[in-house]
Amino acid sequence: MNYLSTRGGMPPTPFTGVLLEGLAPDGGLAMPETYPQIDAATLDRWRGLTYPDLAFEIVSLFVTDIPASTLRELVRDTYTAAVFGSDEITPVSELEPGLHLLHLSNGPTLAFKDIAMQLLGRLFEWALAQRGEHLNILGATSGDTGSAAEYAIRGRHGIRVFMLSPHDRMSAFQTAQMFSLQDENIFNLAVRGVFDDCQDVVKAVSNDLDFKSRWHIGTVNSINWARLLAQIVYYFKAYFAVTRSSAERVSFSVPSGNFGNVCAGHVARMMGLPVSRLVVATNENDVLDEFFRTGHYRVRGGAGVKQTSSPSMDISKASNFERFIFDLVERDPDRVRGLWRDIDHDGDMNLAATPYFARVADFGFRSSRSTHADRVTTIRRVHADFGVVVDTHTADGIKGALEQREAGIPMVCLETAQPAKFADTVREALGRDPERPARYRGLEALPQRFEVIDADADAVKRYIAAHSD
Ligand SMILES: *Cc1c(COP(=O)(O)O)cnc(C)c1O
């Protein structure tokens, strides 16, 4: 299996060649040359597999340049009950007949990003050891991504994490989750500024190509192909959990920001998983909902991003969206390049009057949009009707699921975070705090390890240089 760039400027490259990279050299995103096709007989065979065995079957179709025995070991070491709370790894529960919740947030940081990031940490460690190299991961976070990356890489050889976050602006829980890590390869930099300042510093450091290569700077951002790959697995796992025969179809509703999670569902569908609808659920930051309703994709620009109570979906543009557009335009890289030229130039692309937009529904995509009031209503309703407490992001997904459900087709809502992570809105909806998993009680009282730093690229560069070798 080789990978191509959505913009056509990368020679066919095997998995390990794209594993440690962000963007392709031409600014595009890595895509598998073809989608392996899964027939009904294979689905029947996979139906009884454990999560790690299923993950190995799927991942090994896309990773042909890591020895199978190594890959199997990495996958098995990643997906354990000790890390994810149960042997099922991603259990499915029933809210009512035909409406299900796929639990993706039982990993170390209580959000679905752990599922991909935990595998990524092991793959990175293995690949770096093979090459005799090391890597300094530099990132900016306002919450979920940074903590998932730190928990995946803590204690691993050959990798350090330098994570910038806005000083005093994350929730006490999120701050404690990151800053309580005492591992020597984890560096928390609390930046005097807001999240955008953190991101600007990361960009400035990454744009200094000499510094970047001298200090082996890398990222773990959401366009990384390996992250998307790891997320394909649970679409299959959930399908098996809610069907009895591989002739049945299932729909999924996915709380979406950068389009990574739902894009993994798209890939699963392209591989032949019998999917009816993929509901792209957004919050007030509705770039994607607007596209799926109208064919017009309008990036919002930094100032246009609204701060919402489902903050992990607060985005101005959806970085993985280019992957779907590549498939939509029949994998024509010239077309993708042209469309992204429009976006870079005018901030938008409009497919409304093209034959492409007419084909969007053929891929199963539907969309929805939620407001803060919708989230509060949904959290209350899900609690009253089903006795289940969900977080704000999951609530956005459930709203979309209820709007887009079809008779006779099971709808699976992806639970992307634990309510304990977003306690304020849950308290507003239910009048009490969500329960916190036992291992996180008393988290805020643990000693914290972090450095306060100015929003200044040179200061961050000096810090990295002083703490690397
Ligand atoms: C990251 C995140 C999302 C959005 O996922 P994408 O892959 O960026 O679309 C949704 N919910 C939670 C809790 C997240 O952390």
- If one residue of 252, 258, 288 were mutated to test the ligand 1 pocket, choosing by the most ligand atoms within 8 A of its CB, it would be 258
Same-domain check for residues 187 and 286: no
Q: Is 312 in the pocket of ligand 1 (CB under 6 A)?
A: yes
- Dist. CA 416–CA 393, nearest whole Å: 7
Neighbour-count burial for 249-275, b at 16+ CB within 10 Å, e otherwise: bbbbbbbbbbbbbbbbbbbbbbbbbbb
- Dist. CA 413–CA 290, nearest whole Å: 21
In a domain, 440, yes or no: no
- Dist. CA 427–CA 433, nearest whole Å: 5
Q: What is the pLDDT of residue 177?
A: 93
Same-domain check for residues 293 and 193: no
Could you give the 3-state DSSP secondary structure of residue 68?
helix
| Of 381, 385, 365, the residue nearest 373 (C-alpha) | 381
In a domain, 270, yes or no: yes
In a domain, 459, yes or no: yes
Which amino acid is residue 443, in one-letter code? Answer: L
Domain residues for the domain of 343 are 92-110+233-430
- List Cβ neighbours of 428 (8 Å cut-off, separation of 6 or more): 376
Q: Tell me, in angstroms, the distance from the centre of ligand 1 to residue 105's CA.
A: 11
Q: What is the pLDDT of residues 316-363, one digit of tens each?
A: 889 899 999 999 999 999 999 999 999 999 999 999 999 999 999 999
- If one residue of 144, 151, 282, 321 were mutated to test the ligand 1 pocket, choosing by the most ligand atoms within 8 A of its CB, it would be 144
Q: Check which CATH number belongs to the domain holding 78 and give it.
A: 3.40.50.1100
Q: Is 417 in the pocket of ligand 1 (CB under 6 A)?
A: yes
**Exposed (0-12), middle (13-18) or buried (19+): which is 344, by Cβ within 10 Å?**
exposed
In a domain, 41, yes or no: yes
CB-based contact 102:262 (threshold 8 Å): no
Q: Is 257 in the pocket of ligand 1 (CB under 6 A)?
A: yes
Same-domain check for residues 306 and 215: no
CB-based contact 234:262 (threshold 8 Å): no
Same-domain check for residues 312 and 202: no
- Dist. CA 94–CA 238, nearest whole Å: 11
Q: Is 419 in the pocket of ligand 1 (CB under 6 A)?
A: no
At 446, give phi and psi (nearest 5°).
-70, 150
Which amino acid residue places its CA nearest to atom 1 of ligand 1? 312
Same-domain check for residues 384 and 316: yes
Catalytic residue among 113, 317, 399, 421: 113
Numbers of helices and strands, H then E, in the chain: 20, 16
Q: Tell me, in angstroms, the distance from the centre of ligand 1 to residue 258's CA.
A: 7
Q: What is the DSSP letter of 336?
A: H
Q: Tell me, in angstroms, the distance from the centre of ligand 1 to residue 238's CA.
A: 18
Q: Tell me, in angstroms, the distance from the centre of ligand 1 to residue 149's CA.
A: 14
In a domain, 438, yes or no: no
CB-based contact 232:252 (threshold 8 Å): no
258 CA: nearest ligand 1 atom: 8
Q: Is 425 in the pocket of ligand 1 (CB under 6 A)?
A: no
Same-domain check for residues 76 and 176: yes
Same-domain check for residues 143 and 219: yes
Which pair of structure tokens corresponds to residue 202? 């990361």
Q: Tell me, in angstroms, the distance from the centre of ligand 1 to residue 232's CA.
A: 15
In a domain, 196, yes or no: yes
Q: Is 313 in the pocket of ligand 1 (CB under 6 A)?
A: yes
In a domain, 441, yes or no: no
In a domain, 435, yes or no: no
Q: Tell me, in angstroms, the distance from the centre of ligand 1 to residue 42's CA.
A: 30
Q: Is 141 in the pocket of ligand 1 (CB under 6 A)?
A: no
Q: pLDDT means per 10 residues in the chain (469 residues)?
A: 97 94 88 98 97 98 98 98 97 98 96 96 96 94 87 96 91 90 97 88 91 91 92 98 97 96 98 98 97 95 84 89 97 97 93 95 97 98 98 98 98 97 94 91 94 96 93
CB-based contact 394:414 (threshold 8 Å): yes
CB-based contact 330:14 (threshold 8 Å): no
* CA of residue 165 relative to chain centroid, distance: 18
Same-domain check for residues 400 and 461: no
Same-domain check for residues 49 and 12: yes
CB-based contact 65:355 (threshold 8 Å): no
Same-domain check for residues 56 and 25: yes
Q: What is the pLDDT of residues 304-322, one digit of tens each?
A: 889 899 999 988 889 899 9
Same-domain check for residues 294 and 383: yes
Q: Is 259 in the pocket of ligand 1 (CB under 6 A)?
A: yes
Q: Tell me, in angstroms, the distance from the centre of ligand 1 to residue 130's CA.
A: 31
Which amino acid residue places its CA nearest to atom 8 of ligand 1? 258
Which pair of structure tokens corresponds to residue 433? 């705090």
Q: Domain tally for the chain?
A: 2
Q: What is the pLDDT of residue 469?
A: 75
CB-based contact 322:29 (threshold 8 Å): yes
Q: What is the pLDDT of residue 222?
A: 82
Same-domain check for residues 74 and 102: no
Q: What is the pLDDT of residue 55?
A: 98
Q: What is the pLDDT of residues 178-232, one digit of tens each?
A: 999 999 999 999 999 888 889 889 989 988 989 999 999 988 888 999 999 999 9
Active site residue 421: no
